[in-house]
Structure 1
Amino acid sequence: MELVKRAWKDPVWSKVISAAIILVIAWIAQHFFGSTEETAYHKAFTPLQLPHWLDRR
């Protein structure tokens, strides 16, 4: 634990550790809430359907 405390006080290693923590959190979130390639493609390229009350024609 002392090694982590010393590394956290170092200006470079603190950023490396924080980036690793963010990476792990993002990886876990992607695993549980992520999309497959097919659904990600579908979400990215499907036209957005606006309700009629937002259409100002």
Structure 2
Amino acid sequence: MISILFVFVLFAAFILFYINKLTDSLCIQKEIPEDKHAKIFRTINILVTILLISSFVEILYT
């Protein structure tokens, strides 16, 4: 249980870091105004976090 949690937390941190990197590239490429960046990052981070939590719960109970 603890090893699964440890591996999943490392995996989740990597995923969140990479998604944020891709989001930053998207904002730069599409020339999105700076005042909207925070809202975009917040929305994407919340959605990815929900996805990661639901994935962890699915792995835990299968």
Q: TM-score, normalised by structure 2?
A: 0.41
Q: If the length of structure 1 is used for normalisation, what is the TM-score?
A: 0.44
Higher helix residue share: 2
Answer 1 or 2: higher relative contact order, Cα 8 Å, separation at least 6: 2
